[in-house]
A and B are shown apart, each in its own frame.
Chain A
């Protein structure tokens, strides 16, 4: 299956700083990528849909200015947590669809996740 790589796997940052997480589709071009957030022992909550060459679409309740998403190429989307605070500590997971697979609801391929800890 297609491979989605997420980097870094874990990061620790100081409160008030910004941190960038990368999501790459390694063997396919992804016009759409998705960013999820997972709190400990909870489900994955969709944060936003990242569209190549256009603005991301955020889910209700997600702060656009806090979580900046850029999808500059067909293989790379980035999530930047700006002015991070301890409550932003979480597990962030990206996913991507391969548009060549056909219709809209084909499976999405997930990255391995990034553990963010803000101290």
Chain B
């Protein structure tokens, strides 16, 4: 079965520093991959998605992610984080018509 793993439960970075959130998936074929962000008590906002084509995907809010088949990874990056980026980030994989989520990574920003 398809699954997605986010190995980091918490990540803390200083404002202005670069960010990389890790995501690994398990699936035999080319997966459909997503990154969502959730602010406390809020719903989900889609940051970016990968279905096929260019392996470097640009998203909203300055985020990007790179699909690496050889590493089964889809890591999320941002060159310079802002205090408003503090939130929970979920990597997800499409399974049939369903979306299955990783456990999430909580991002803390130091002033």
A107 touches B49 (CB 8 A): yes
A19 CB, min distance to chain B CBs, angstroms: 18
- Which residues B81-111 have CB closer than 8 A to chain A? 90, 94, 96-104, 106
Number of interface residues of A (CB under 8 A): 25
Q: A107-B49, A110-B44, A111-B43 are in contact. Are A43 and B102 (CB under 8 A)?
A: yes
Chain B interface size band reads 20 to 34
How close is A26's CB to chain B, nearest CB, in angstroms? Answer: 14
Q: Quick one: which of A1, A44, A108, A113 contacts B42, CB cutoff 8 A?
A: A113
Decide if B63 is an interface residue (CB 8 Å cutoff).
no
A-B contact pairs, 11 of them (CB 8 A): A1-B46, A6-B43, A32-B97, A34-B98, A41-B106, A43-B101, A46-B99, A46-B100, A93-B43, A97-B97, A110-B45
By the criterion CB–CB under 8 Å, are A112 and B102 in contact? no
Tell me, rounded to whole Å, the shortest Cβ–Cβ distance linking B81 to chain A.
21
B99, closest chain A residue (CB) = A108
Which residues 36-55 of A sit at the B interface, judged by CB distance below 8 A?
Answer: 36, 41-44, 46, 49
